[in-house]
Amino acid sequence: MRLTTRARRAISKCLRPLARRAAGAYVAGEHLEDALEVADRLTDRGLGVTLGFWDGEEDSPRHIADTYLAGVKALAGRDHAYLSIKVPSLKFSEDLLAEVVGQAARSEVRLHFDALGPEVSDRSRALFDRLLDRGVDLSYTLPGRWMRSIEDAAWAAGRGFVVRVVKGQWADPADPRRDLRTGFLQVIDALAGRARHVAVASHDVPLVTEAVNRLRAAGTSCEMELLYGLPMRESLALADELKLGVHVYVPYGKAYLPYALAHMQSNPRIAWWLLRDMLKSRGSRKHTDARQRELVTR
Ligand SMILES: Cc1cc2nc3c(=O)[nH]c(=O)nc-3n(C[C@H](O)[C@H](O)[C@H](O)COP(=O)(O)OP(=O)(O)OC[C@H]3O[C@@H](n4cnc5c(N)ncnc54)[C@H](O)[C@@H]3O)c2cc1C
Domain positions in the chain: 26-255, 268-298
Report the nearest-CA residue for atom 27 of ligand 1. 203
- The model's pLDDT over 22-73, given as tens digits with 9 standing for 90+, comes to 666 779 999 999 999 999 999 999 999 999 999 998 999 999 999 999 999 9
How far apart are alpha carbons 251 and 31 in whole angstroms?
10
pLDDT of residue 254: 84
Report the nearest-CA residue for atom 48 of ligand 1. 204
What's the chain's Rg over C-alpha atoms?
A: 18
Q: Is the pLDDT of residue 223 over 60?
A: yes
Ligand 1 pocket member 227 (CB < 6 A):
yes
- The model's pLDDT over 151-183, given as tens digits with 9 standing for 90+, comes to 999 999 999 999 999 999 999 999 999 999 999
Taking alpha carbons only, the member of 284, 286, 285, 264 closest to residue 273 is 264
Taking alpha carbons only, the member of 32, 122, 146, 154 closest to residue 81 is 32
pLDDT of residue 7: 63
Mean pLDDT of the chain: 87
Amino acid at 76: A
Taking alpha carbons only, the member of 23, 18, 109 closest to residue 69 is 109
pLDDT of residue 269: 61
Q: Percentage of residues in the chain with pLDDT exceeding 90?
A: 74
The closest-lying atom of ligand 1 relative to the alpha carbon of residue 84 is 8
pLDDT of residue 21: 60
The closest-lying atom of ligand 1 relative to the alpha carbon of residue 248 is 1
Ligand 1 pocket member 267 (CB < 6 A):
yes
**pLDDT, mean of residues 273-290:** 49
pLDDT of residue 114: 98
Ligand 1 centroid to 281 CA: how many Å?
22
pTM (2 decimals)? 0.85
How far apart are alpha carbons 176 and 57 in whole angstroms?
26
Taking alpha carbons only, the member of 186, 262, 237, 197 closest to residue 8 is 262
User: Is residue 229 very low, low, confident or very high in pLDDT (cuts 50, 70, 90)?
Assistant: confident
pLDDT of residue 291: 45
Ligand 1 centroid to 156 CA: how many Å?
23
pLDDT of residue 281: 45
User: Is residue 293 very low, low, confident or very high in pLDDT (cuts 50, 70, 90)?
Assistant: very low
For strands 246-253 and 48-54, give the pairing.
parallel
Under a CB-based contact definition with an 8 Å cutoff, are residues 204 and 227 in contact? no
Ligand 1 pocket member 197 (CB < 6 A):
no
Ligand 1 pocket member 208 (CB < 6 A):
no
Ligand 1 pocket member 144 (CB < 6 A):
no
**pLDDT, mean of residues 71-87:** 97
Q: Is the pLDDT of residue 188 over 60?
A: yes
Ligand 1 pocket member 109 (CB < 6 A):
no
- Classify burial at 276, counting beta carbons within 10 Å of its beta carbon; exposed 0-12, middle 13-18, buried 19 or more: exposed
- The residue with greater pLDDT, 256 or 155, is 155
pLDDT of residue 131: 95
User: What is the CATH topology of the domain spanning 26-255?
Assistant: TIM Barrel (3.20.20)
pLDDT of residue 37: 97
User: Is residue 6 very low, low, confident or very high in pLDDT (cuts 50, 70, 90)?
Assistant: low
Ligand 1 pocket member 230 (CB < 6 A):
yes
Ligand 1 pocket member 42 (CB < 6 A):
no
